[in-house]
Amino acid sequence: MSNLEQIYNNLIANEKLKNGSKYERLAAVVYKVIDESDSVIHDLRLRGDGKTAQHQIDVTIEKSGISKRVLIECKEYNKVIGIGIIRDFFGAIAQIKPDEAFVVTTVGYTKGAINLAKDEGIKLAILREAEDSDWDGLIRTIVLNMEVIMMNTPAITWIASSEEERERVYKLLEENWGDRTSASTLNEFLYDENFNVISNYQDALKPILNAAPKVPNQITKGKHEFESKKHVKILGHFVAVKGFHYEFDSYSNETQSIIDDGGKVASLLFKVLENDSKYLIFEEEIEKWMFDEDGKVIPK
């Protein structure tokens, strides 16, 4: 039993199939993993339009949402594939006329096979057991070093809408004038001319303060004016304001995040020779699929 058959038994189904079928089915699952929206079917008999000859196709893909058919011939060989395999498959292609055609094998192709495939528009691919060296050229771990700049609790000083309003409030507050008080930004509100709630402090102030420059260990000061007059409540009194002064200091935190493969085990390598694209296929991606009685790849 080959390693690829063992992968099929362990991750998809431990069943008796004719020689080569488990490799064909692994290929079908790989194409499903690459694009889960595709309809992927193993072992179909197809005829071309107006033709009487029937062809056994290892894997057939129907693209979702568009009329596109892909035919795939699979060969689990321990040596390179020769031109004869490509020539035989082209006989089926010429009659069925798919939109794309692939040959998939485990080792590789002779120069003659590569040349014929190129002439006839047949794409060549490798599907084999994954090796550690297959990670070469792929990003396996990303280390992110980040400096997060935060601001301490800001001090807000309201700007009266006019000098007359300032004098009025001064007389109301008397000895409390100029005192600093703490306030919940969720439970304190801005009001309109009729003293209806417009928003809480957090929704109104947060975007403005977040946009202010922040330099660690330095004090930031600024001023913001509203487009129209608002009201706030100070010690039980409504006060008309046109904006506010703000002041805060900032600090920084340095953090490191590591993004990696999470210890996932790569079981298969799938590589398309035409564009040198490659995919590592992981155990958890394979074991989620099975085949229905018609050979269609479906979720378990």
Whole-angstrom distance, CA of residue 110 vs CA of residue 128? 17
Task: Outline where DSSP puts E strands in the chain.
Answer: 39-46, 55-62, 69-75, 100-105, 123-129, 141-151, 155-160, 189-191, 197-200, 219-234, 237-260, 266-272, 277-282, 289-291, 297-299
Q: Assess whether 30 and 77 both reside in one domain.
A: yes
Statement: residue 166 has pLDDT above 80: yes
Q: What per-residue confidence (pLDDT) applies to 260?
A: 64
| Owner of token pair 């006329």 | 97
| pLDDT mean over 107-128 | 97
Q: Find, among 22, 59, 20, 55, the residue nearest to 39 by Cα.
A: 59
pTM, 2 dp: 0.61
Q: What per-residue confidence (pLDDT) applies to 261?
A: 61
The amino acid sitting at 101 is A
Q: Assess whether 155 and 252 both reside in one domain.
A: yes
For residues 220 and 151, is the Cβ–Cβ distance under 8 A?
Answer: yes
Whole-angstrom distance, CA of residue 184 vs CA of residue 53? 80
Q: Assess whether 88 and 235 both reside in one domain.
A: no
Domain span at residue 73 reads 3-138+261-299
Q: Assess whether 63 and 19 both reside in one domain.
A: yes
DSSP conformation letters of 75-103? E--SS-B-HHHHHHHHHHHHHH--SEEEE
More confident: 141 or 88: 88
The average confidence (pLDDT) of the chain is 91
Q: By mean pLDDT, which of 15-19, 65-69, 96-100, 294-298 is the weakest?
A: 65-69
Half-sphere exposure of 119 toward its Cβ, with a 13 Å CA cutoff?
10
- How many domains does the chain divide into? 2
Q: Assess whether 52 and 170 both reside in one domain.
A: no
Whole-angstrom distance, CA of residue 97 vs CA of residue 49? 9
Q: Assess whether 251 and 215 both reside in one domain.
A: yes
Q: Assess whether 221 and 72 both reside in one domain.
A: no
For residues 183 and 202, is the Cβ–Cβ distance under 8 A?
Answer: no
Q: Assess whether 126 and 151 both reside in one domain.
A: no
| pLDDT mean over 30-50 | 91
Statement: residue 133 has pLDDT above 70: yes
For residues 157 and 150, is the Cβ–Cβ distance under 8 A?
Answer: no
Distances (CA, A) of 213 to 129, 149, 151, 208, 246: 53, 10, 10, 10, 12
Q: Assess whether 122 and 266 both reside in one domain.
A: yes
The amino acid sitting at 209 is L
Whole-angstrom distance, CA of residue 222 vs CA of residue 156? 10
Q: What is the CATH number of the domain that holds 77?
A: 3.40.1350.10
Q: Assess whether 194 and 85 both reside in one domain.
A: no
Q: Assess whether 128 and 177 both reside in one domain.
A: no
Q: Assess whether 122 and 21 both reside in one domain.
A: yes
Predicted confidence (pLDDT) per residue in 198-257, tens digit: 999 999 999 999 999 999 999 999 999 999 999 999 988 999 999 999 999 999 988 877
Whole-angstrom distance, CA of residue 93 vs CA of residue 71? 8
Q: Find, among 104, 98, 100, 124, the residue nearest to 112 by Cα.
A: 124
For the chain, how many helices (H) and strands (E)? Answer: 7, 15
